[in-house]
Amino acid sequence: MKDNVLEKKFSKFIIAVSIIIPVVVAILFTVKLKDFGINVKPLSFLPPIYATINGLTALVLIAGVLAIKNGKRKLHERLMTTAIALSVVFLVMYVAYHMTTDSTKFGGEGTIRTVYFFILISHIILSIAIIPMVLVTYVRALAEKFDTHKKIAKITFPIWLYVALTGVIVYLMISPYYVL
């Protein structure tokens, strides 16, 4: 009974968040505070910080999987909650950076340019897709529906890990082109 009530309670929230976050990020990505007369120092120091947060997220995700495989459910729960929190912190920093700083153009040419855009585009698409997957996976654990939690977690984990790792890779590939 508890599990069905909890899932129903959160289903509209998951749908709303899964739509609102990408839409708001897309809109805010185009908003520059300076265009509104708000003079804020560009937050150009943030990319290495949020890239590090992506790397930490990847490590926490791996630690979380290892914890549950070793029967440490409470540790797994704390690590997965931490991974979600790190993802939220990343998102806030990412949006703040893009609202105060002009986008950096990738300067590579040839094959590396193709590789960069493949990684970037797959990262963006999967970062949108992972939002409802993470939330559904988390709610199923909270509802103690561990059979369905485990099934979706087997899909959620590698995609979330890919998004976290490719966030770091994208940063490393574009960092030589940042204007300080």
Q: What is the residue-wise DSSP string for 92-124?
A: HHHHHHHHHSPPPPP---THHHHHHHHHHHHHH
| Closest to 14 in 3D by CA, of 144, 150, 139 | 139
Give the residue-averaged pLDDT of 134-163. Answer: 96
What pLDDT digit, counting tens, does each position of 29-70 carry? Answer: 787 777 777 777 878 899 999 999 999 999 999 999 999 999
**Amino acid letter at 69?**
K
Q: Which residues contact 157 (CB under 8 A, 6 or more apart)?
A: 61, 65
The pair phi, psi for residue 31, each rounded to 5°, is -90, 125
Are 137 and 156 in contact by the 8 Å Cβ rule? The answer is yes
What's the pLDDT at 1? 47
What pLDDT digit, counting tens, does each position of 104-142 carry? Answer: 899 999 999 999 999 999 999 999 999 999 999 999 999
pTM reported for the whole predicted model: 0.89
Full domain range(s) for residue 172: 2-177
Q: The CATH number of the domain where 39 resides is what? A: 1.20.120
How far apart (Å, rounded) are the C-alpha atoms in residues 116 and 31?
Answer: 25
**Tally of domains within the chain:** 1
What pLDDT digit, counting tens, does each position of 69-98 carry? Answer: 999 999 999 999 999 999 999 999 999 898
